[in-house]
Chain A
């Protein structure tokens, strides 16, 4: 900058000097900045009139802006602008968009949904979102389940039934697995016999003699395994007792054991300790009837039967 330029600027300083010659400029704020600041003040005044703003005593100014929405009872409600009213309105718009599909879902029975290509397309994509949000934490992605924890939904083995109605029932009311701890009521020899019998059902190497006495115990009144698992150990879906003959294991870690005696030990441990787990939460209060219907069809699609 030339000498002349410096002199032509009438620069104000704050007036004080440190160390003799150290001064501080006192430049005005840029004009654009000052005006923008004024505009924000004007904006805030406009805002007070439109939206809820100033507190007054025990209430507050609600502003002149209004939102009209239709409430659950079907009445039209007008409220001052607020995010809750806005949400009610937006949810209505969402519902309106999905209505053609959801009302069709509500009106169709499960079989019809599966047959209608457009509707089943909607149900499968909506079902996947719902499944990932709500079911996948336990049943894992794609419903593959978790041995020892949560049943596989993609195979054809169903504890409580794989029909549309049964899946629907499970979703709405939830389930709770239970098996008494037979270690408390039967001698160790009996439990060993029962374990050998159960092993024999799925072709695991076992002691034939023990298995025969196990079979007798299975259908006897003292152990009464048949009451839940059925006469032929094929399971009873009314009680959620699994089929013991299909080689699918949820609780006893049979596939994880290498040697037959270890497999039998795993079965023995489950019989002795019983089960008081396998809790499926009830979704009836958490999801809407239509969402549950969508999930029913989705889960049935994974591995449901008749």
Chain B
């Protein structure tokens, strides 16, 4: 049997046509699997009871260090809806929980454990000791040492980092009107943290109050541990209607 809808000689001898058809073929995956998610209402399942907030300035710096050190290459932040993952890591991750992450830190490889709900699981001291020398805490660990995290944090560009995220839709506020919108959405306390003009002060205040590394001064460790301790803690699943989450998929 011979099917001859077209001759591929046409394509092979016409580089322009080949270019167009190649681009069409490889864009199908994205168009079919990714693009519709931006239009489907329930993609980010902001059901009643979910009020995920953007990171505070200190947590944001921590996230940037997480990215800088390439933590995502070994740690995922995505608990899939499987029984074994639920038993080990906790409730499956929601799209709503990473709605302010740009880029998201879902990752695709687990050399180390998933970190989507690591917040509150260990003490600050444990994180500090473990990041400096992982094998001092977990003998069989293959994680590298990160002793340089104890260096002082560069705070000078925090406003710029927040402005960049604001440009892609994270509600950090520049104007008074934006700040008031945040007060309505997140409450006074969170809105204050999201105001770019106060970013540096907020960052230092949180680091001093939390003193995550038990040392004076604001270190990169302060920022990273503050970030790790907030992961997966923003949604109270006891107050959620789980059926709503099911219906969203």
Residues of A within 8 A of B (CB): 14-16, 28, 31, 34, 52, 55, 57-60, 71-72, 77, 79, 82-88, 90-91, 94, 133-134, 136-138, 140-141, 146, 149, 276-277, 279-282, 285-286
How many angstroms between the C-alpha atoms of A155 and B193 in the bound complex? 45
Report if A134-B246 is in contact (Cβ < 8 Å); known contacts: A14-B12, A277-B214: no
Q: Mark B235-247, 1 if CB is under 8 A from A, else 0.
A: 0001000110111
User: What are 28 inter-chain pairs, A to B, with CB distance below 8 A?
Assistant: A15-B9, A28-B2, A55-B36, A55-B39, A58-B41, A59-B42, A60-B36, A84-B246, A84-B248, A85-B249, A86-B81, A87-B82, A87-B92, A88-B246, A91-B86, A134-B121, A138-B126, A138-B137, A146-B137, A149-B137, A277-B123, A277-B125, A277-B214, A279-B124, A280-B123, A281-B123, A286-B90, A286-B121
Q: Which residues of B contact A133 (CB under 8 A)?
A: 88
Report if A279-B243 is in contact (Cβ < 8 Å); known contacts: A14-B9, A16-B9, A286-B90: no
Contact B242 A72 (CB under 8 A): yes
How many angstroms between the C-alpha atoms of A57 and B36 in the bound complex? 8
Q: Which residues of B contact A86 (CB under 8 A)?
A: 81
Q: Which residues of B contact A88 (CB under 8 A)?
A: 242, 246
Question: How many residue-residue contacts, CB under 8 A, span A and B?
Answer: 97
Per DSSP, chain A at the interface is mixed
Contact A281 B120 (CB under 8 A): yes
**Contacts A15-B9, A72-B242, A279-B124 supplied; 8 other A-B pairs, CB < 8 Å:** A57-B39, A71-B242, A79-B243, A84-B249, A86-B81, A149-B137, A279-B125, A285-B120
Contact B83 A137 (CB under 8 A): no
Determine whether B168 belongs to the interface, using a CB cutoff of 8 Å to chain A: no
6 smallest CB-CB distances across A and B, nearest first, come from A55-B36, A279-B123, A82-B249, A87-B81, A58-B41, A83-B81
Residues of B within 8 A of A (CB): 1-3, 8-9, 12-13, 36-37, 39-42, 80-83, 86, 88, 90, 92, 120-126, 129-130, 136-139, 214, 238, 242-243, 245-249
Contact B125 A60 (CB under 8 A): no
Q: Which residues of A contact B122 (CB under 8 A)?
A: 137-138, 281
How many angstroms between the C-alpha atoms of A195 and B2 in the bound complex? 96
Q: Which residues of A contact B245 (CB under 8 A)?
A: 84
Closest A residue, CB atoms, query B247: A79
Q: Smallest CB–CB gap between A125 and chain B, Å?
A: 14
Closest A residue, CB atoms, query B45: A84
Contact A71 B243 (CB under 8 A): yes
Closest A residue, CB atoms, query B123: A279
Q: Which residues of B contact A82 (CB under 8 A)?
A: 246, 249
Q: Which residues of A contact B80 (CB under 8 A)?
A: 83
How many angstroms between the C-alpha atoms of A286 and B12 in the bound complex? 61
